[in-house]
Amino acid sequence: MLVAGVMSGTSVDGVDVALVRLAGHGADMRWSVETWASTPFPEDMREMLLAMGESDRVRMDDVTRMHVRLAHAYADAVRDSLLRANASLSDLDLVGCHGQTVRHLPEASTFCGAEVRATLQLGSGPALANLLDTPVVSDFRAADMALGGQGAPLVPYVDWALLGDGAEPRAALNVGGIANVTAIPAGRGPDGVVAFDTGPGNMVSDALCRRHFGIPFDRGGQIALSGTVDEDLLAELLADPWFARRPPKSTGREAYGEAYVADIVRRAGARSLAPGDQVATAAALTADSVVRALRDFVPFRPARVLLSGGGVHNRALTDRMAAALPGVRFGSTAEVGLDPDAKEAVAFAVLAHETFAGVPTGMPSVTGARKTAILGSISYPA
């Protein structure tokens, strides 16, 4: 099957689309990426999505319209990818679309008399299916959460199927807006996989770069590398009880968004920290929280860590993590044939392919769900 994986993440940078050729299932899956590209959101749309992800005061009319507007953005990005691959809609068999997360509330809470876990990803699956005249798998988190799981991280099944190795214990580390890790033991048995969110990825650093420098992110980690980490402020940030919580656990912009960054800026101001030092400290927060997670919550030491997401390009992150874990080889997923920037889009092509075949991809050992779920809802075109 030719499957389009569509991803827009917590960094709200834009729409990533990967066209993936897939056959087989699980660890026997055969795959090749035909093309991959990222399309930025228009700035007004990006600002509105950021507000929806953090503010408690948003117009429901705007949320409702954004649900459909995103489907149009996703459809345009898929069409562009098909053009780049010299393919047409008639060649496309399936679309897997994560949608844009605006709320992720994985902890059970009593609401209107019932205990619920809830998540909301905008981007209408039925609208996208009819815009592209192709079946769409979307809403990947809800089934796992209905079974008592965190609904995240979603990609450990993909990490196990595509990145596992029979002889070498590995960890797949994705540093997007949020950072998450999948630890895959040698032998590739799915029951031994451990995965969870480790905390903020690029989200805090990106926000500080927008606030202080008027740029979307710290390219290559150059600002962080030129600054000095404030170890006292870093220790305060790492004292957050969430970092010490045992998995399963997941988090998002509601925890580490603008309000969190504003608090960091306030604390930094009391210490007269320069903007570059604040960015350096934010990068160290991401790196150290990942290192602690690997040490405290992974029951084996990985021989190799395969990085993906925007953080793979940030030397301040990668250098600090490598220095803290001597003997562990740090590299990118490119070493095993997967573009680190394309990985999440590829993941949703894989998950959609499995869902369409009725293959369960939920991992109770990862999310805490009571059962293994088939993830996602299928929308068919007219």
CA atoms of 130 and 81, how far apart (whole Å)? 18
Instruction: Give Cβ neighbours of residue 88 (< 8 Å, ≥ 6 apart).
Output: 82
pLDDT exceeds 90 at position 1: yes
Beta-strand pair 194-200/30-40: unpaired
The pTM is what? 0.90
Measured over the CA atoms of residue 312, residue 95, residue 106 and residue 183, the dihedral's sign is negative
**pLDDT tens digits for 253-302?**
889 998 999 999 999 999 999 999 999 999 999 999 999 999 999 999 99
CA atoms of 103 and 100, how far apart (whole Å)? 9
Both 177 and 322 in one domain: the answer is yes
Per-residue confidence band for 11, with pLDDT thresholds at 50, 70 and 90: confident
Strand partners, 6: 17, 97
pLDDT exceeds 90 at position 39: yes
CA atoms of 374 and 157, how far apart (whole Å)? 12
Rounded mean pLDDT, 31-59? 91
pLDDT exceeds 80 at position 189: no
Give the per-residue pLDDT at 192.
85
Secondary element (H or E) of residue 182: strand 178-184
DSSP category for residue 303: S
* Residues in the chain, total: 382
Higher confidence at residue 73 or residue 252? Answer: 73
Per-residue confidence band for 188, with pLDDT thresholds at 50, 70 and 90: low
Give the mean pLDDT of the chain: 95
Both 71 and 219 in one domain: the answer is no
Residue 229, both tokens: 């980490």
Rounded mean pLDDT, 21-29? 95
Measured over the CA atoms of residue 180, residue 151, residue 8 and residue 358, the dihedral's sign is positive
* Residue at 271 is within a domain: yes
Both 178 and 308 in one domain: the answer is yes
* Residue at 160 is within a domain: no
Domain count, the chain: 2
**pLDDT tens digits for 74-97?**
999 999 999 999 999 999 999 999
* Residue at 18 is within a domain: yes
CA atoms of 124 and 106, how far apart (whole Å)? 21
Give the per-residue pLDDT at 236.
97
Residue 177, both tokens: 């807006």
Q: Are 342 and 36 in contact (CB under 8 A)?
A: yes
Both 143 and 198 in one domain: the answer is no
CA atoms of 11 and 99, how far apart (whole Å)? 13
Helices (H), 248-342: 253-256, 258-270, 275-297, 315-324
Rounded mean pLDDT, 132-155? 95
Give the per-residue pLDDT at 111.
96
Both 196 and 138 in one domain: the answer is no
Residue 142, both tokens: 């809800």
Residue 364, both tokens: 């109770």
pLDDT exceeds 90 at position 117: yes
Residue ranges making up the domain that contains 9: 2-155+342-379
Q: Residue 57 maps to which CATH number?
A: 3.30.420.40
**Which amino acid would we find at residue 195?**
A
Both 283 and 356 in one domain: the answer is no
C-alpha atoms less than 13 angstroms from C-alpha of 20 in its C-beta half-sphere:
32
Phi-psi region of 178 (alpha: psi -120 to 50; beta: other; left: phi over 0): beta
